[in-house]
Amino acid sequence: MTSLERLADTFFNVPVMVQYLPKIVEGFFVTIELALAVVVAGIAAGLLLAVVRAFRVRAVNFCIVLVVDVLRALPPLVIIIAFYFALPTIGIRLSAWVATWLALALVLAAFAEEIFWAGILSVPKGQWEAARSTGLTFLQTLTEVVLPQAVRLTIPPLTNRTIAITKGTALGAVVAVGEILYQAQTAYSFSYNPSPLLLGALAYLILFVPVVYFGRWIETRFAWKR
Amino acid sequence: MELLLHSFFNLGILQQAWPFLLSGFWMTVKLTLVVVPLGLAGGLAVALASTARSRPVRWLLIAYVDFFRAFPPLVLLMFIAFGLPFLKLDLGAFGAVALSFLLNTSSYYGEIFRAGIESIPRGQYEAARSTGLSAVQTLGYVVVPQAVRNVVPDLISNTLEVIKLTSIASVVALPELLFAAREAQSVTYNATPIIAAGIIYLVCLWPLVRLLSRFEHRQIAVH
C-alpha cells in the first residue's frame, strides 16, 4: 500500500463509513432535537427572568444576579457532570439527555437574561414615564413599548451566544447522550478506525456552517450603529 | 439536609481529595497560560493577514475562521486527539489540547481583532502613511493599539469562555481540575470533589464575570 492509500484506508474507510452512517444520522437528529430544546427553553427562561428583574424588587433581583453570575462563571461541562453524577447522590436522578438539556438551557438562560436586561436598560427612562402617563400599566409599558425596542438591540449578541451554546450539545457525549459526537466516538472505538470521527465532523459542518452564516447575516442585518 | 452535607460538602472527603484538586487546579492554570496567549497571537495574526490586499488570501482566512467556528471545540479536540495518532503524529494529551485550542480560539479572537481593526477609519492609515511611517509601522503603532482598545470587553469575554473551555481537556484525560475532581469522585464514591471543583472555578472566574457585566451594560446603554 502506498502511503496515500493507507491514509485513505484510515480516514476514508468506505466500508466502516457505510456501516456506521445510520448511527451518525441518528445522532444528527438527536443533536438537532437537543439543540432546539435548549434554545427554546433557554431564551424563554432568559426573557422571563429579565422581565421579572424589570419589576426591580431588591431581594428578587439579588437572587437573579447571583444565579446568573454562577451560571456564567461555571464551565458548562462542569454543570452537566454535576447534574449527572452528583445529583443522584442526593436522590435526584436525571437522564443524560435531561441533564445535558437542563445544564445548557440554564447557561443560555443566564446569558440571555443579561442580554435582555441590558436591552431593557438601553430604552430611555423618558419612554417609561411617557408610556405610564398615557395610562398604560407597568406591564403594558414593558411589553408594548420597552421590549419591542429592547429585543431589536439584543438580536445580534443573542444570536451569537445561542450558536455558541448549541454547539455545547457535543458535551452531552461525555455523559453518553446519543448525539453525533457520542455515536462517532462509539463507532471509532468499535472499529478502531477514525473514519467515523471524520463522518461525525462532517455532520457537524453540515449542521453548523449554515448556522454560522445565519449568525453573520443577522449581525450585518441588525448591526448596531456605531 | 444531612444527606446534602454528607454528599456535597463532606469535609473528610474534601481533605482526601484536596491534593488532587490542587494539582488539577495548577494544571488548569498552566493550560490557560498556554492556550490564551497562543489564541491571542494566532487571532491577531489571522486578523492582520485579513487586511491583505490579495483576495484569495482573504477568502482563505474567512474559510478558516468559519470552518473552526462551526466545529464544536470538543469535536475538534477528539478528532485531533484520536485521529492524529493514526498519522503517526502523537502529540500527547497536552499537545492535542493546545493544538485544538489554537485552531478554535484563534478564529474567535481573529474575528474580534478584525472587528477592531475595521473600526479604525481609513483616514488614519492615510495620515500615518503620509507622515512617513511604513505599512508595518502604521499597523503596529497606529491601528492595532486603537483597535485592541476598542474590543477589550469582547476580548475579556472570549478569554473567560476559553478558560471555562479548558475543562473539556478532561475528556482526553489531561489531569486538569475537572478531571481530578472526577477521579477523586470515582475513588471516594462521593460528589464533594465535583462540587469543590465547581466552587474553585466560581471563585476564580466570578471577578471576570462581574467585570464583563459592567462592560456590557455600559456598552448597550451607549447605543
CATH architecture under which domain A19-221 falls? Orthogonal Bundle (1.10)
What is d(CA A77, CA B38) in angstroms, rounded to the nearest whole number? Answer: 23
Of the candidates A77, A153, A194, which has its C-beta nearest B83's C-beta?
A194
- Helix axis angle, A14-54 to A195-221, nearest 10°: 40
CA–CA gap between residue B174 and residue B31 (Å, rounded): 10
Nearest to B195 among A10, A82, A170 (CB): A82
Please tell me which of the candidates B7, B79, B217 has its beta carbon nearest to residue A118. B217
The alpha-helical segments, DSSP class H, found in chain A are 3-11, 14-54, 58-73, 76-81, 96-122, 125-133, 138-140, 147-167, 180-191, 195-221
CA distances from B11 to A13, B5, B6 (A): 52, 9, 8
Separation CA B164–CA A111 (nearest Å): 15
Facing residue for A77 by CB, picked from B87, B168, B217: B168
Answer yes or no: do A122 and B210 touch at CB < 8 A. no
Tell me the residue range of the domain where B135 lies.
2-222
A201 touches chain B (CB under 8 A): yes
How many domains in chain B? 1
Measuring CA to CA, which residue among A26, A1, A70, A58 is closest to residue A186?
A26
Contact list, A205 vs chain B (CB under 8 Å): 67, 70-71
Say whether A103 sits in a helix, a strand or coil: helix
Instruction: Convert the pLDDT of each residue in A156-196 to its tens digit.
Output: 889 888 998 999 999 999 999 999 999 999 999 999 888 99
CA distance A142 to B158: 32
Q: What φ, ψ does residue A163 adopt, rounded to 5°?
A: -60, -45
Sign of dihedral through CA atoms B125, B131, B136, B140?
negative
CB contact under 8 A, B72 and A10: no
Find the CATH number of the domain harbouring B28: 1.10.3720.10
Task: Check if the interface score ipTM surpasses 0.85.
Answer: yes
Residue A2 to chain B, least CA–CA distance (Å) = 14
Shortest CA gap A99–chain B (Å): 15
pLDDT in tens, A107-131: 999 999 999 999 999 899 899 999 9
Q: Which amino acid is at B185?
A: Q
- Region of A135 (left: φ > 0; alpha: ψ -120 to 50; beta: rest) is left
Is the Cβ pair A76, B217 closer than 8 Å? no
pLDDT of residue B6: 86
Encode pLDDT of A29-71 as tens digits. 999 999 999 999 999 999 999 999 999 999 999 999 999 999 9
Q: Which of residues 146-165 of B touch A (CB under 8 A)?
A: 160-161, 164-165
Cα distance between the two ends of chain B: 48
In a 3-state reduction of DSSP, which class is residue A134? coil
Q: What is the pLDDT of residue B222?
A: 53
- Measured CA to CA, the distance from residue B216 to residue B108 in angstroms comes to 18
Return the pLDDT at A220: 82
Tell which residue, A149, A167, A53, has the closest CA to residue A110: A53
| pLDDT for res A219 | 79
What is the model's pLDDT at position B192? 94
What is the rounded average pLDDT of the residues A24-30?
95
pLDDT at B35: 97
In angstroms, the separation between the Cα of residue A95 and the nearest Cα of chain B is: 17
pLDDT average per 10 residues of sequence, chain B (223 residues) = 86 92 96 97 94 89 90 92 86 93 95 92 91 91 92 94 96 94 92 95 95 78 52
Whether B213 contacts chain A with CB within 8 A: yes
In which band, very low, low, confident or very high, does the pLDDT at A226 lie, cut at 50, 70 and 90? very low
Domain boundaries, chain A: 19-221
Q: pLDDT exceeding 90 applies to what percent of chain A?
A: 72
